[in-house]
Amino acid sequence: MNETEEKKDLSDIITTGPPVAGWAAPSKANIIEPKYKPGDIYSYERCTHCGYCRHVCKVYNTSWSETDYAGGRNRIIKALDRKDIKFDNEEIIPSVFRCMLCGNCATVCPVGVDTLAVFQHLRKEVVRKGAVPAKLVIIKNSLKENNNPFLETHADRFNWCDACDEAEEALRRGKSTFAYNESLKAEDIKAPKEPTTKVGYFVGCTSSYRNKELSTATSQVMKKLGVDFMVFPEERCCGSVLFRTGLEDDALELVKKNYEMVRKSGVEDVIFSCSGCFSTFTLEYSKYANNNLGFNLYHITQYALKVVKEKNLKIRYTKRSKEDPLLITYHDPCHIGRHMGLYESPRNLLKKISTLTEMKTNRVGAMCCGAGAGVRKGFPELSLAMAKNRVEEAEETNVEYLVSTCPFCWRNLKDAIDATGSNLKMVDLVELILESMS
Protein backbone atom coordinates (compact mmCIF):
# COMPACT_ATOMS: atom_id res chain seq x y z
CA MET A 1 0.00 0.00 0.00
CA ASN A 2 2.53 2.56 -1.14
CA GLU A 3 0.90 5.47 -2.91
CA THR A 4 4.18 6.46 -4.52
CA GLU A 5 4.26 3.16 -6.39
CA GLU A 6 2.90 3.15 -9.90
CA LYS A 7 -0.57 1.62 -9.86
CA LYS A 8 -2.19 -0.27 -12.69
CA ASP A 9 -4.16 1.56 -15.37
CA LEU A 10 -7.78 0.64 -14.68
CA SER A 11 -8.82 1.21 -18.29
CA ASP A 12 -8.14 -2.43 -19.15
CA ILE A 13 -10.83 -3.72 -16.79
CA ILE A 14 -13.36 -5.49 -19.00
CA THR A 15 -16.13 -7.91 -18.12
CA THR A 16 -19.41 -8.70 -19.78
CA GLY A 17 -20.72 -10.43 -16.67
CA PRO A 18 -23.95 -9.29 -15.01
CA PRO A 19 -23.69 -7.23 -11.79
CA VAL A 20 -25.10 -9.98 -9.58
CA ALA A 21 -23.22 -8.85 -6.43
CA GLY A 22 -22.02 -12.29 -5.53
CA TRP A 23 -25.17 -14.36 -5.84
CA ALA A 24 -23.42 -16.51 -8.42
CA ALA A 25 -19.91 -16.82 -9.72
CA PRO A 26 -19.40 -15.67 -13.32
CA SER A 27 -19.21 -18.23 -16.06
CA LYS A 28 -16.09 -18.25 -18.21
CA ALA A 29 -18.22 -17.07 -21.12
CA ASN A 30 -18.83 -13.84 -19.23
CA ILE A 31 -15.18 -13.09 -18.58
CA ILE A 32 -12.70 -11.46 -20.92
CA GLU A 33 -9.18 -12.28 -19.78
CA PRO A 34 -7.80 -9.19 -18.03
CA LYS A 35 -4.36 -7.72 -18.63
CA TYR A 36 -2.40 -8.29 -15.46
CA LYS A 37 0.78 -9.88 -14.19
CA PRO A 38 0.65 -12.67 -11.61
CA GLY A 39 2.12 -11.49 -8.34
CA ASP A 40 0.87 -7.91 -8.77
CA ILE A 41 0.50 -6.71 -5.17
CA TYR A 42 -1.35 -3.58 -6.32
CA SER A 43 -3.98 -5.38 -8.39
CA TYR A 44 -6.54 -4.63 -5.65
CA GLU A 45 -6.95 -1.30 -7.48
CA ARG A 46 -8.72 -3.28 -10.20
CA CYS A 47 -11.41 -4.58 -7.83
CA THR A 48 -14.84 -3.38 -8.95
CA HIS A 49 -16.57 -4.83 -5.86
CA CYS A 50 -18.84 -6.93 -8.01
CA GLY A 51 -19.20 -9.46 -5.21
CA TYR A 52 -18.42 -12.58 -7.23
CA CYS A 53 -15.84 -13.62 -4.62
CA ARG A 54 -18.51 -13.74 -1.90
CA HIS A 55 -19.97 -16.84 -3.51
CA VAL A 56 -16.79 -18.92 -3.16
CA CYS A 57 -15.39 -17.52 0.11
CA LYS A 58 -16.12 -20.03 2.86
CA VAL A 59 -14.98 -17.58 5.54
CA TYR A 60 -17.62 -15.10 4.43
CA ASN A 61 -20.22 -17.85 4.08
CA THR A 62 -19.51 -18.83 7.67
CA SER A 63 -19.20 -15.41 9.34
CA TRP A 64 -21.30 -13.25 6.95
CA SER A 65 -18.92 -10.39 7.71
CA GLU A 66 -18.19 -7.91 4.92
CA THR A 67 -14.55 -7.75 6.03
CA ASP A 68 -14.06 -11.49 5.50
CA TYR A 69 -14.17 -11.80 1.71
CA ALA A 70 -11.81 -10.43 -0.92
CA GLY A 71 -13.95 -7.51 -2.08
CA GLY A 72 -14.46 -6.29 1.48
CA ARG A 73 -10.78 -6.64 2.26
CA ASN A 74 -9.91 -4.71 -0.91
CA ARG A 75 -12.18 -1.90 0.30
CA ILE A 76 -10.18 -1.74 3.52
CA ILE A 77 -6.89 -1.56 1.61
CA LYS A 78 -8.19 1.21 -0.63
CA ALA A 79 -9.53 3.15 2.36
CA LEU A 80 -6.15 2.85 4.08
CA ASP A 81 -4.45 4.04 0.89
CA ARG A 82 -6.69 7.11 0.74
CA LYS A 83 -6.39 7.60 4.50
CA ASP A 84 -10.18 7.44 4.78
CA ILE A 85 -9.68 5.21 7.82
CA LYS A 86 -6.90 5.11 10.39
CA PHE A 87 -4.66 2.10 10.81
CA ASP A 88 -5.59 0.43 14.10
CA ASN A 89 -3.35 -2.43 15.27
CA GLU A 90 -6.14 -4.33 17.02
CA GLU A 91 -9.03 -3.67 14.61
CA ILE A 92 -7.05 -4.66 11.52
CA ILE A 93 -6.06 -8.15 12.74
CA PRO A 94 -9.35 -10.08 12.18
CA SER A 95 -9.96 -8.72 8.68
CA VAL A 96 -6.39 -9.50 7.63
CA PHE A 97 -5.71 -12.83 9.34
CA ARG A 98 -9.06 -14.66 9.04
CA CYS A 99 -8.28 -15.49 5.39
CA MET A 100 -6.85 -18.97 4.58
CA LEU A 101 -5.23 -17.64 1.38
CA CYS A 102 -6.92 -20.53 -0.39
CA GLY A 103 -7.07 -18.55 -3.64
CA ASN A 104 -10.63 -19.48 -4.58
CA CYS A 105 -11.55 -15.81 -4.94
CA ALA A 106 -8.83 -15.36 -7.56
CA THR A 107 -10.32 -18.12 -9.72
CA VAL A 108 -13.62 -16.24 -10.15
CA CYS A 109 -12.37 -12.64 -10.19
CA PRO A 110 -13.52 -11.17 -13.52
CA VAL A 111 -10.89 -8.40 -13.44
CA GLY A 112 -7.89 -10.52 -12.49
CA VAL A 113 -7.04 -9.39 -8.97
CA ASP A 114 -4.21 -11.63 -7.74
CA THR A 115 -5.70 -11.97 -4.28
CA LEU A 116 -2.96 -14.30 -3.00
CA ALA A 117 -0.25 -11.77 -3.83
CA VAL A 118 -2.31 -8.84 -2.56
CA PHE A 119 -3.26 -10.39 0.78
CA GLN A 120 0.14 -11.90 1.53
CA HIS A 121 1.64 -8.46 0.93
CA LEU A 122 -1.07 -6.89 3.11
CA ARG A 123 -0.10 -9.21 5.97
CA LYS A 124 3.54 -8.33 5.51
CA GLU A 125 2.71 -4.62 5.72
CA VAL A 126 0.50 -4.84 8.80
CA VAL A 127 3.07 -7.00 10.59
CA ARG A 128 5.71 -4.37 9.89
CA LYS A 129 3.37 -1.79 11.42
CA GLY A 130 3.15 -3.89 14.59
CA ALA A 131 -0.21 -5.63 14.10
CA VAL A 132 0.77 -9.22 14.93
CA PRO A 133 -1.64 -11.75 16.47
CA ALA A 134 -0.36 -13.02 19.84
CA LYS A 135 -0.47 -16.66 18.71
CA LEU A 136 1.62 -15.79 15.68
CA VAL A 137 4.31 -14.34 17.94
CA ILE A 138 4.49 -17.71 19.74
CA ILE A 139 4.95 -19.51 16.41
CA LYS A 140 7.59 -17.04 15.29
CA ASN A 141 9.57 -17.46 18.51
CA SER A 142 9.33 -21.25 18.37
CA LEU A 143 10.63 -21.29 14.80
CA LYS A 144 13.55 -19.11 15.82
CA GLU A 145 14.42 -21.20 18.87
CA ASN A 146 13.34 -24.71 17.83
CA ASN A 147 13.15 -24.70 14.01
CA ASN A 148 9.51 -25.82 14.23
CA PRO A 149 6.20 -24.08 15.11
CA PHE A 150 5.11 -26.62 17.75
CA LEU A 151 7.37 -25.62 20.68
CA GLU A 152 9.10 -28.99 20.31
CA THR A 153 12.86 -29.40 20.63
CA HIS A 154 14.80 -29.65 17.38
CA ALA A 155 16.66 -32.71 18.71
CA ASP A 156 13.38 -34.67 18.70
CA ARG A 157 12.60 -33.99 15.04
CA PHE A 158 13.49 -37.51 13.92
CA ASN A 159 12.27 -39.48 16.93
CA TRP A 160 9.58 -40.94 14.67
CA CYS A 161 12.30 -42.84 12.79
CA ASP A 162 12.89 -45.07 15.83
CA ALA A 163 9.64 -46.95 15.17
CA CYS A 164 10.10 -47.29 11.39
CA ASP A 165 12.90 -49.44 9.97
CA GLU A 166 12.72 -47.79 6.56
CA ALA A 167 12.99 -44.30 8.06
CA GLU A 168 15.78 -45.33 10.41
CA GLU A 169 17.74 -46.60 7.42
CA ALA A 170 17.06 -43.36 5.52
CA LEU A 171 18.25 -41.28 8.47
CA ARG A 172 21.45 -43.33 8.70
CA ARG A 173 21.92 -42.78 4.98
CA GLY A 174 21.47 -39.03 5.46
CA LYS A 175 23.96 -38.87 8.33
CA SER A 176 26.46 -40.87 6.31
CA THR A 177 26.06 -38.54 3.35
CA PHE A 178 26.75 -35.51 5.51
CA ALA A 179 29.51 -37.19 7.55
CA TYR A 180 27.15 -36.11 10.32
CA ASN A 181 28.48 -35.44 13.79
CA GLU A 182 26.03 -34.06 16.31
CA SER A 183 28.81 -32.11 18.02
CA LEU A 184 29.35 -30.05 14.86
CA LYS A 185 27.46 -26.88 14.03
CA ALA A 186 25.19 -27.16 11.01
CA GLU A 187 27.33 -24.81 8.88
CA ASP A 188 30.39 -26.99 9.56
CA ILE A 189 28.81 -30.19 8.27
CA LYS A 190 30.21 -31.08 4.86
CA ALA A 191 28.83 -33.51 2.32
CA PRO A 192 31.13 -35.94 0.52
CA LYS A 193 31.62 -35.66 -3.22
CA GLU A 194 29.49 -38.74 -3.86
CA PRO A 195 26.10 -38.83 -2.09
CA THR A 196 24.77 -42.19 -0.95
CA THR A 197 21.53 -41.68 -2.86
CA LYS A 198 20.03 -39.32 -5.43
CA VAL A 199 16.67 -39.05 -3.62
CA GLY A 200 15.88 -37.05 -0.48
CA TYR A 201 12.69 -36.94 1.59
CA PHE A 202 11.88 -33.55 3.13
CA VAL A 203 9.54 -34.56 5.94
CA GLY A 204 8.19 -31.27 7.30
CA CYS A 205 7.30 -30.24 10.85
CA THR A 206 3.74 -31.55 11.00
CA SER A 207 4.68 -35.03 9.82
CA SER A 208 7.73 -35.08 12.11
CA TYR A 209 6.00 -34.00 15.31
CA ARG A 210 2.25 -34.54 14.87
CA ASN A 211 1.13 -36.74 11.96
CA LYS A 212 3.89 -39.31 12.28
CA GLU A 213 1.73 -41.87 10.51
CA LEU A 214 2.22 -39.90 7.30
CA SER A 215 6.04 -39.80 7.45
CA THR A 216 6.10 -43.49 8.37
CA ALA A 217 3.76 -44.45 5.52
CA THR A 218 5.76 -42.35 3.05
CA SER A 219 9.01 -44.09 4.08
CA GLN A 220 7.42 -47.51 3.70
CA VAL A 221 5.90 -46.64 0.32
CA MET A 222 9.28 -45.45 -0.95
CA LYS A 223 10.82 -48.73 0.14
CA LYS A 224 8.09 -50.74 -1.60
CA LEU A 225 8.67 -48.67 -4.74
CA GLY A 226 12.29 -49.83 -4.60
CA VAL A 227 13.68 -46.33 -4.03
CA ASP A 228 16.69 -45.76 -1.81
CA PHE A 229 16.34 -42.36 -0.16
CA MET A 230 17.69 -40.24 2.66
CA VAL A 231 16.14 -37.91 5.18
CA PHE A 232 18.10 -34.75 5.89
CA PRO A 233 19.50 -34.78 9.45
CA GLU A 234 19.61 -30.98 9.60
CA GLU A 235 16.13 -30.35 8.17
CA ARG A 236 14.35 -27.29 9.56
CA CYS A 237 10.84 -25.92 9.10
CA CYS A 238 10.30 -24.93 5.47
CA GLY A 239 8.98 -21.53 6.59
CA SER A 240 5.55 -21.85 4.96
CA VAL A 241 3.67 -20.49 7.98
CA LEU A 242 5.91 -17.41 8.03
CA PHE A 243 5.38 -16.67 4.33
CA ARG A 244 1.60 -17.04 4.69
CA THR A 245 1.31 -14.85 7.79
CA GLY A 246 3.34 -11.81 6.83
CA LEU A 247 6.61 -12.85 8.47
CA GLU A 248 8.47 -13.39 5.21
CA ASP A 249 11.59 -11.61 6.47
CA ASP A 250 11.87 -14.15 9.31
CA ALA A 251 11.50 -17.03 6.85
CA LEU A 252 14.56 -16.21 4.78
CA GLU A 253 17.05 -17.69 7.24
CA LEU A 254 15.15 -21.01 7.17
CA VAL A 255 15.08 -20.90 3.37
CA LYS A 256 18.83 -20.31 3.23
CA LYS A 257 19.66 -23.16 5.65
CA ASN A 258 17.35 -25.71 4.01
CA TYR A 259 18.40 -24.78 0.50
CA GLU A 260 22.10 -25.06 1.28
CA MET A 261 21.46 -28.35 3.08
CA VAL A 262 19.78 -29.92 0.05
CA ARG A 263 22.44 -28.62 -2.33
CA LYS A 264 25.23 -30.03 -0.10
CA SER A 265 23.52 -33.42 -0.02
CA GLY A 266 23.94 -33.87 -3.77
CA VAL A 267 20.46 -35.32 -4.25
CA GLU A 268 18.75 -34.84 -7.58
CA ASP A 269 15.14 -35.40 -6.49
CA VAL A 270 13.45 -34.11 -3.33
CA ILE A 271 10.18 -35.76 -2.31
CA PHE A 272 7.48 -34.14 -0.14
CA SER A 273 4.48 -35.70 1.59
CA CYS A 274 3.47 -32.29 2.98
CA SER A 275 1.65 -30.11 0.45
CA GLY A 276 2.66 -26.94 2.31
CA CYS A 277 6.38 -27.78 2.18
CA PHE A 278 6.08 -28.73 -1.49
CA SER A 279 4.40 -25.47 -2.51
CA THR A 280 6.82 -23.40 -0.42
CA PHE A 281 9.88 -24.98 -2.04
CA THR A 282 8.32 -24.63 -5.48
CA LEU A 283 7.12 -21.05 -5.14
CA GLU A 284 9.27 -19.32 -2.51
CA TYR A 285 12.53 -21.31 -2.61
CA SER A 286 12.60 -21.13 -6.39
CA LYS A 287 12.49 -17.33 -6.16
CA TYR A 288 15.36 -17.39 -3.67
CA ALA A 289 17.40 -19.49 -6.12
CA ASN A 290 16.43 -17.36 -9.15
CA ASN A 291 14.42 -20.29 -10.55
CA ASN A 292 17.47 -22.55 -10.59
CA LEU A 293 17.26 -24.75 -7.51
CA GLY A 294 19.64 -27.39 -8.82
CA PHE A 295 17.34 -30.29 -7.85
CA ASN A 296 13.91 -31.58 -8.81
CA LEU A 297 10.82 -31.26 -6.61
CA TYR A 298 8.10 -33.93 -6.44
CA HIS A 299 5.01 -34.32 -4.34
CA ILE A 300 4.84 -37.95 -3.25
CA THR A 301 1.78 -38.54 -5.45
CA GLN A 302 3.73 -37.38 -8.53
CA TYR A 303 6.77 -39.44 -7.65
CA ALA A 304 4.84 -42.59 -6.74
CA LEU A 305 2.83 -42.43 -9.98
CA LYS A 306 6.04 -41.90 -11.96
CA VAL A 307 7.71 -44.99 -10.43
CA VAL A 308 4.56 -47.09 -10.74
CA LYS A 309 4.41 -46.34 -14.47
CA GLU A 310 8.15 -46.82 -15.03
CA LYS A 311 8.20 -50.17 -13.24
CA ASN A 312 4.71 -51.22 -14.35
CA LEU A 313 3.71 -51.85 -10.74
CA LYS A 314 0.19 -52.88 -9.79
CA ILE A 315 -1.58 -51.16 -6.91
CA ARG A 316 -5.09 -52.14 -5.90
CA TYR A 317 -7.08 -52.18 -2.67
CA THR A 318 -7.31 -55.96 -2.38
CA LYS A 319 -9.15 -56.01 0.94
CA ARG A 320 -12.35 -55.53 -1.08
CA SER A 321 -13.65 -57.20 -4.23
CA LYS A 322 -14.53 -55.64 -7.59
CA GLU A 323 -18.17 -56.24 -6.72
CA ASP A 324 -17.74 -54.45 -3.41
CA PRO A 325 -15.10 -51.75 -4.04
CA LEU A 326 -13.86 -49.23 -1.51
CA LEU A 327 -15.74 -45.98 -2.12
CA ILE A 328 -13.55 -42.89 -1.87
CA THR A 329 -13.70 -39.16 -2.51
CA TYR A 330 -10.77 -36.78 -2.80
CA HIS A 331 -10.23 -33.37 -1.20
CA ASP A 332 -7.91 -31.06 -3.15
CA PRO A 333 -5.51 -29.24 -0.80
CA CYS A 334 -5.17 -25.57 -1.73
CA HIS A 335 -1.36 -25.78 -1.52
CA ILE A 336 -1.04 -28.25 -4.39
CA GLY A 337 -4.38 -27.56 -6.06
CA ARG A 338 -5.07 -23.92 -6.82
CA HIS A 339 -1.54 -22.86 -5.85
CA MET A 340 0.26 -25.49 -7.93
CA GLY A 341 -2.27 -26.89 -10.40
CA LEU A 342 -1.59 -30.45 -9.23
CA TYR A 343 -4.92 -32.23 -9.69
CA GLU A 344 -4.44 -35.34 -11.78
CA SER A 345 -1.64 -37.40 -10.19
CA PRO A 346 -3.60 -37.98 -6.94
CA ARG A 347 -6.69 -38.90 -8.93
CA ASN A 348 -4.77 -41.24 -11.26
CA LEU A 349 -3.45 -43.11 -8.21
CA LEU A 350 -6.88 -43.25 -6.58
CA LYS A 351 -8.45 -44.63 -9.75
CA LYS A 352 -5.89 -47.42 -9.75
CA ILE A 353 -6.70 -48.22 -6.13
CA SER A 354 -10.51 -48.20 -6.12
CA THR A 355 -13.65 -46.27 -7.08
CA LEU A 356 -13.40 -42.47 -6.93
CA THR A 357 -16.45 -40.23 -6.63
CA GLU A 358 -15.95 -36.47 -6.92
CA MET A 359 -17.43 -33.94 -4.52
CA LYS A 360 -19.59 -31.10 -5.79
CA THR A 361 -16.65 -28.69 -5.61
CA ASN A 362 -13.36 -30.13 -6.80
CA ARG A 363 -10.12 -29.26 -8.56
CA VAL A 364 -9.79 -25.49 -9.10
CA GLY A 365 -13.16 -24.85 -7.43
CA ALA A 366 -12.63 -27.12 -4.41
CA MET A 367 -13.75 -25.88 -1.02
CA CYS A 368 -10.89 -25.17 1.39
CA CYS A 369 -10.60 -27.31 4.54
CA GLY A 370 -10.23 -24.15 6.65
CA ALA A 371 -6.81 -24.87 8.18
CA GLY A 372 -4.52 -22.75 6.04
CA ALA A 373 -2.48 -19.57 6.57
CA GLY A 374 -2.66 -19.62 10.35
CA VAL A 375 -6.47 -19.64 10.58
CA ARG A 376 -6.60 -22.95 12.48
CA LYS A 377 -4.20 -21.56 15.08
CA GLY A 378 -5.63 -18.06 15.30
CA PHE A 379 -9.35 -18.71 14.82
CA PRO A 380 -9.99 -22.39 15.66
CA GLU A 381 -13.79 -22.18 15.82
CA LEU A 382 -13.99 -20.59 12.37
CA SER A 383 -11.53 -23.14 11.02
CA LEU A 384 -13.54 -26.08 12.37
CA ALA A 385 -16.82 -24.64 11.02
CA MET A 386 -15.35 -24.58 7.51
CA ALA A 387 -14.03 -28.11 7.88
CA LYS A 388 -17.52 -29.26 8.89
CA ASN A 389 -18.88 -27.73 5.67
CA ARG A 390 -16.37 -29.74 3.67
CA VAL A 391 -17.23 -32.94 5.52
CA GLU A 392 -20.92 -32.36 4.76
CA GLU A 393 -20.05 -32.07 1.09
CA ALA A 394 -18.04 -35.30 1.26
CA GLU A 395 -20.98 -37.08 2.92
CA GLU A 396 -23.18 -36.17 -0.05
CA THR A 397 -21.08 -38.53 -2.20
CA ASN A 398 -22.06 -41.53 -0.01
CA VAL A 399 -18.48 -42.80 0.18
CA GLU A 400 -16.53 -44.44 2.99
CA TYR A 401 -13.14 -42.71 2.81
CA LEU A 402 -12.33 -39.02 2.60
CA VAL A 403 -8.81 -38.81 1.17
CA SER A 404 -6.37 -35.92 0.97
CA THR A 405 -2.64 -35.33 0.46
CA CYS A 406 -1.92 -32.67 3.08
CA PRO A 407 -1.33 -33.11 6.83
CA PHE A 408 -3.14 -29.85 7.63
CA CYS A 409 -6.22 -30.93 5.67
CA TRP A 410 -6.03 -34.36 7.29
CA ARG A 411 -6.02 -32.92 10.82
CA ASN A 412 -8.74 -30.34 10.28
CA LEU A 413 -11.09 -32.65 8.39
CA LYS A 414 -10.48 -35.45 10.91
CA ASP A 415 -11.46 -33.07 13.72
CA ALA A 416 -14.62 -32.14 11.81
CA ILE A 417 -15.48 -35.80 11.24
CA ASP A 418 -15.11 -36.47 14.97
CA ALA A 419 -17.06 -33.34 15.94
CA THR A 420 -20.00 -34.15 13.66
CA GLY A 421 -20.11 -37.90 14.37
CA SER A 422 -19.66 -38.63 10.66
CA ASN A 423 -19.06 -42.22 9.55
CA LEU A 424 -16.40 -41.09 7.09
CA LYS A 425 -12.84 -42.27 7.62
CA MET A 426 -10.14 -39.66 7.02
CA VAL A 427 -6.97 -41.01 5.38
CA ASP A 428 -3.96 -39.59 3.60
CA LEU A 429 -3.46 -40.92 0.09
CA VAL A 430 0.00 -42.24 1.03
CA GLU A 431 -1.56 -44.44 3.71
CA LEU A 432 -4.02 -45.77 1.15
CA ILE A 433 -1.21 -46.46 -1.34
CA LEU A 434 0.64 -48.41 1.36
CA GLU A 435 -2.45 -50.52 2.09
CA SER A 436 -2.80 -51.18 -1.64
CA MET A 437 0.80 -52.35 -2.00
CA SER A 438 0.78 -54.80 0.92
Are 332 and 390 a contacting pair, CB within 8 Å? Answer: no
* Alpha carbons 235 and 243: distance in angstroms, whole number: 18
- Minimal CA–CA distance to 432: which of 413, 410, 411, 412? 410
For residues 351-383, one letter each, b for 16 or more C-beta atoms within 10 angstroms of the residue's C-beta and e for the rest, the string is ebbbebeebebbeebbbbbbbbbbbbbbbeebb
User: Three-state secondary structure along 330-399?
Assistant: ECCCCCCCCCCCCCHHHHHHHHHHCEECCCCCCHHHCCCCCCCCCHHHHCHHHHHHHHHHHHHHHHCCCC
CB 388 within 8 A of CB 426: no
* CATH architecture observed for domain 10-131: Orthogonal Bundle (1.10)
Q: What is the pLDDT of residue 18?
A: 42
Question: What's 155-310's CATH class?
Answer: alpha beta
Q: Nearest CA to 359 among 336, 386, 330?
A: 330
Residue 203's contacts (CB-CB under 8 Å, 6 or more residues apart) are 215, 218, 231, 235, 273, 274
**Long-range pairs for 26-29 at CB < 8 Å and ≥24 separation?**
26/52, 26/108, 26/110
Minimal CA–CA distance to 397: which of 435, 352, 357, 432?
Answer: 357
Residues 215, 217: Cα–Cα separation, whole Å = 6
Is residue 335 a contact partner of residue 372, using CB atoms and an 8 Å limit? yes
pLDDT in 10s for each residue of the chain, 438 residues: 444 444 444 444 444 444 444 444 455 455 556 555 778 999 999 898 988 899 899 999 999 999 999 999 999 999 999 999 999 999 999 999 999 999 999 998 988 899 999 999 999 999 999 999 999 999 999 999 999 999 999 999 999 999 999 999 999 999 988 875 454 455 554 555 566 689 999 999 999 999 999 999 999 999 999 999 999 999 999 999 999 999 999 999 999 999 999 999 999 999 999 999 999 999 999 999 999 999 999 999 999 999 999 999 999 999 999 899 999 999 999 999 999 999 999 999 999 999 999 999 999 999 999 999 999 999 999 999 999 999 999 999 999 999 999 999 999 999 999 999 999 999 999 999 999 997
Q: Residue 70's closest CA among 38, 46, 36?
A: 46
d(CA 111, CA 127): 28
Q: pLDDT at position 194, please? A: 62
Its pTM stands at 0.90
User: Are the C-beta atoms of 231 and 111 separated by less than 8 Å?
Assistant: no
Fold of 315-437: Rossmann fold (3.40.50)
Q: What is the pLDDT of residue 17?
A: 41
Residues of the chain with CATH 1.10.1060: 10-131
CATH 3.40.50.1860 residue ranges for the chain: 155-310
